[in-house]
C-alpha cells in the first residue's frame, strides 16, 4: 500500500514510472527521500548520481495539480465505479474540449454522486416492475398484421400478438421474415443481388412456366417461360432433373419436341392419377410442392435499394441455410425467428434477439418502455441455457413453490403431485406468502433490521 502511494506521489512530481518504481521497491518513501543525498540514493537504487539528483530535486518539488495527460485521465475514469457506458461517454466528452483539472475533478465527482443517486435500491422488486411496465401498455397495442416498415410487399405480425408470440417462445413465429444483408462484393451490384435473390427464393414448377393439363392426351405439359428460367439461372435440363429427382413420382418425364416444354405422363392410365400429378406440380406449398431451386422455407424475396446497398427482405426464414450462401453478410443478416437464432447462434444471441424484437415491436407502436425491463424478461427466459416460455410450460410452471404454481394454473394436479412426492414449500416467493397471510420477502419486507425499543415502553 505504502509502496503504491510512493509511486503515485513520485509520478505526480514528474518522476518517470520506471524510476518511481525503483525507489519504491527499495523501500523508500517520499519522506525518506528528503533526508537523503544524491549519492546515498544512487547506491540504494543503483543508478547514476545524476539521475538520483534529479529524482531528489523532483521529489522536493510540489506535486503537479493533476495528471492532465490523455492516458492518465482515461485510467482515472476507468477506475470510477460507474457503468461502462458512462465511462465511454466521459472519455469521449472530456477529450472533446479543454477542461481545467479542477473542472475535471468536479465533473468526475459529480458523475459518481449522480450514479450513486440513480442506482437501483437493494430489495427493489424489479421483476414486478418489469412485468407491469411491459404488461400495462399491452392494452394500448393494436392487434393487426401490418406491412413491414417500408416494404409494402411483406406482412408481419406486430403489436400485442407479436409480443405474446415472443414471450411464448414459439418454435416459429406466425410471420417469419428475414432481412438479408449482402457482403461488399454483392451489395452494390444489382444483377448479383437479383441472382442471389433467385437462389434463395423457393421456386416451384409453376413459377417457371404455365402448367397445362391435356386430359385427352393424358398429359401435363409445362410450357416453359424462358425469361423466368433465365432470371433464375436454370436450364431446362435442371428442371427435368429436379422433377425426376422427386421420388414416388410415378410418371414419365421427357422434353417435348419443340424443346420448350416438358411433357409429364402418368404411368397409371387414369384420370385420378393425372389430377394428382397436376396437384403436385402446381403446388407451391413447402410440404407437398416440388422444390426446383432456392430454400424451402423462404417463400418470397423482395429486393430493395436501401441507403447505398441492396438488401433482401424475405417472407419465411431459414437462417442456417441463408448465412452459408456466398454473398450473404451473415453478421448483419437478421431473422425474427428466435428459435432459429438460438439453434444457430446460441443462447446469448437468442437473448439479444428477444430484446431486439420486443424493442422494435413496442417502438413500432409508439410505446416507450425502458430496455432494462425487456432485458430482465429476456434474461429470465434464457437463464437456464434454453429459451423458456413465460407461462405454464416455462418459468411459471417450473417455479420452486407449489402454492405459487397452484395459484397460477392447473391447480389440482400440482397439489396432487406435491403430496405424493412430499414436496416442501419454502414460502420464499410472493404468492405463497400472500396465501398464508404473512409479509412478503421483497422490498421493505426484505429488510431484516429490527429497531430496539428504548425508554419506557407503553403497550
Partner 1 sequence: MIAHPKRIDSIKFGLLSPKEIRKMSVTKIITPDTYDDDGFPIEMGLMDQRLGVIDPGLRCKTCGGRPGECPGHFGHIELVAPVVHVGYARLIRKILRSVCRSCKRVLLEKKDQDHFSAQIKEHQREGQPIDEILKEVFKRAMAVNVCPHCGEEQLKIFFESPTTYEEGEHKLMPADIRARLEQIPDKDLPVIGINPKQVRPEWMILTVLPVPPVTARPSITLESGQRSEDDLTHKLVDIIRINQRFQENREAGAPQLIIEDLWELLQYHVTTYIDNEVSGIPPARHRSGRPLKTLSQRLKGKEGRFRGSLSGKRVNFSARTVISPDPNLSINEVGIPQRIAEEMTITENVTDRNFKAMVELIKRGRNYPSANYVRRLDGKRVKVTSTNFEELAEQLQVGWKIERQLRDGDIVLFNRQPSLHRMSIMAHRVRVMPGKTFRLNPAVCPPYNADFDGDEMNLHVLQNEEARAEARILMDVEENILSPRFGGPVIGGIHDHISGLYLLTRSGTRFDENDVLELLRHSRITDLIEPSFGEGDKPYWSGKDIFSMILPEGFNATFEAEICHNCEVCLKERCEHDAYVVIENGRLLRGTIDERAIGAFKGKIIDRITKEYGPDRARRFIDDATSLAIRAITRLGFSFGIDDEDIPPSAQKQIQASIIATEEQVAQLVDAYDNNELEPLPGRSVEETLELRIMQELGRVRDAAGAIAGEYLGMDNTAVAMALSGARGSMMNLTQMAGCVGQQSVRGARITRGYEGRTLPHFERGDLGAAAHGFVKSSYKKGLSPTEFFFHAIGGREGLVDTAVRTSQSGYFQRRLINALQDIEVKYDGTVRETRGMIVQFEYGEDGVDPSRGDYGKSINIDRIIELATCGDD
Q: 314, 301 in Cβ contact below 8 A?
A: yes
- Cell numbers 525503483 correspond to 22
**Binding window for partner 1 (CB under 8 A); candidates: 53-61, 132-140, 290-298, 332-340:** 132-140
Question: Which residue of 71, 139, 191, 227 would you call a contact of partner 1, by CB under 8 A?
Answer: 139
Binding flag, residue 68, partner 1 (CB under 8 A)? no
Interaction residues for partner 1, span 141-200 (CB under 8 A): 141-146, 152-153, 160-161, 163-164, 167
- Residue 40 to residues 21, 22, 37, 45, 52, Cα–Cα distance (Å): 17, 14, 5, 9, 9
Q: Report the distance separating Cα 197 and Cα 302, nearest Å.
A: 8
246: Cβ contacts below 8 Å, ≥ 6 apart: 290
Residue 71 or residue 368: which is nearer to partner 1 going by CB? Answer: 368
DSSP string, 168-217: TT-SS-SS-EEEEEB-HHHHT-HHHHHHHHHHHS-B-HHHHEEEEEEGGG
Q: Which is nearer to partner 1, 1 or 424 (CB)?
A: 424
Q: How far is the CB of 322 from partner 1 (least distance, A)?
A: 19
Round to whole Å and give the CA distance between 92 and 266: 73
For residues 389 and 167, the answer to whether their CB atoms sit within 8 Å is: yes
Q: For residues 60 and 135, which CB has a smaller minimum distance to partner 1 in the complex?
A: 135
SS3 309: strand
Q: Which of 115, 172, 265, 321 binds partner 1 (CB under 8 A)?
A: 115
Residues 430-459 that bind partner 1 (CB under 8 A): 430-431, 434-436, 438-439, 442-444, 446, 450-451, 453, 457-459
Q: Which of 270, 352, 40, 134 is nearest to 335 (CA)?
A: 352
List the x/- string, 211-250, binding to partner 1 by CB under 8 A: ----------------------------------------
Q: Counting contacts by CB under 8 A, is residue 114 touching partner 1?
A: yes
Beta carbon of residue 207, minimum distance to partner 1 (angstroms, whole number): 12
- Judged by CB under 8 A, which of 240, 255, 302, 325 binds partner 1? 302
Looking at the Cβ atoms of 255 and 303, the one nearer to partner 1 is: 303
Nearer Cβ to partner 1 (126/253): 126
The angle subtended at Cα 324 by Cα 321 and Cα 326, nearest 5°, is 125
Under the criterion CB under 8 A, does residue 429 sit at the interface with partner 1?
yes
* From 98-106, 177-185, 192-200, 249-257, span contacting partner 1 (CB under 8 A): 98-106
Tell me which H or E stretch contains 315: strand 309-315
Q: Residues 314 to 373: which contact partner 1 by CB under 8 A?
A: 368-373
Amino acid at each position: 500500500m505504502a509502496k503504491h502511494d510512493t509511486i503515485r506521489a513520485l509520478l505526480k512530481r514528474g518522476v518517470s514510472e520506471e524510476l518511481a518504481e525503483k525507489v519504491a521497491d527499495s523501500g523508500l518513501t517520499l519522506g525518506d527521500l528528503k533526508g537523503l543525498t544524491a549519492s546515498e540514493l544512487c547506491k540504494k537504487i543503483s543508478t547514476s548520481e545524476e539521475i538520483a539528483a534529479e529524482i531528489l530535486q523532483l521529489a522536493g518539488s510540489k506535486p503537479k495539480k493533476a495528471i492532465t495527460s490523455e492516458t492518465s485521465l482515461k485510467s482515472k475514469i476507468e477506475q470510477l465505479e460507474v457503468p461502462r457506458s458512462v465511462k465511454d461517454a466521459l472519455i469521449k466528452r472530456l477529450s472533446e474540449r479543454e477542461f481545467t483539472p479542477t473542472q475535471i475533478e468536479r465533473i468526475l465527482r459529480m458523475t459518481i454522486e449522480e450514479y450513486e443517486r440513480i442506482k437501483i435500491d437493494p430489495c427493489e422488486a424489479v421483476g414486478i416492475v418489469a412485468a407491469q411496465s411491459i404488461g400495462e401498455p399491452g392494452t394500448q397495442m393494436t392487434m393487426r398484421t401490418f406491412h413491414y416498415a417500408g416494404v409494402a410487399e411483406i406482412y408481419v405480425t406486430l403489436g400485442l400478438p407479436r409480443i405474446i408470440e415472443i414471450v411464448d417462445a414459439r418454435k416459429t413465429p406466425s410471420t417469419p421474415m428475414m432481412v438479408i444483408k449482402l457482403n461488399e462484393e454483392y451489395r452494390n451490384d444489382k444483377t448479383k443481388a437479383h441472382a442471389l435473390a433467385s437462389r434463395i427464393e423457393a421456386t416451384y414448377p409453376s413459377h417457371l412456366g404455365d402448367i397445362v393439363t391435356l386430359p385427352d392426351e393424358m398429359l401435363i405439359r409445362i410450357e416453359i417461360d424462358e425469361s423466368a428460367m433465365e432470371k433464375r439461372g436454370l436450364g431446362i435440363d435442371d428442371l427435368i432433373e429436379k422433377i425426376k429427382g422427386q421420388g414416388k413420382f410415378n410418371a414419365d418425364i421427357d422434353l417435348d419436341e419443340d424443346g420448350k416444354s416438358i411433357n409429364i405422363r402418368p404411368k397409371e392410365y387414369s384420370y385420378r392419377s393425372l389430377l394428382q400429378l397436376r396437384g403436385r406440380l402446381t403446388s407451391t406449398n413447402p410440404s407437398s410442392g416440388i422444390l426446383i431451386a432456392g430454400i424451402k422455407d423462404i417463400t418470397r424475396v423482395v429486393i430493395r435499394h436501401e441507403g447505398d446497398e441492396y438488401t433482401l427482405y424475405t417472407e419465411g426464414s431459414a437462417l442456417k441455410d441463408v448465412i452459408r450462401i456466398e454473398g450473404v453478410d451473415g453478421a448483419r443478416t437478421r431473422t425474427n425467428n428466435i428459435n432459429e437464432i438460438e439453434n444457430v447462434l446460441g443462447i446469448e444471441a437468442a437473448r439479444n434477439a428477444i430484446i431486439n424484437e420486443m424493442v422494435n415491436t413496442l417502438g413500432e407502436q409508439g410505446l416507450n418502455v425502458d430496455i432494462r425491463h425487456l432485458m430482465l424478461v429476456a434474461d429470465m427466459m434464457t437463464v437456464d441455457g434454453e429459451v423458456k416460455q413465460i407461462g405454464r410450460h416455462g418459468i411459471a410452471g417450473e417455479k420452486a413453490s407449489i402454492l405459487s404454481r397452484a395459484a397460477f394454473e392447473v391447480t389440482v394436479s400440482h397439489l396432487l403431485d406435491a403430496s405424493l412426492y412430499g414436496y416442501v414449500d419454502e414460502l420464499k416467493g410472493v404468492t405463497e406468502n400472500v396465501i398464508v397471510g404473512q409479509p412478503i420477502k421483497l422490498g421493505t419486507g426484505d429488510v431484516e433490521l429490527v429497531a430496539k425499543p428504548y425508554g419506557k415502553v407503553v403497550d
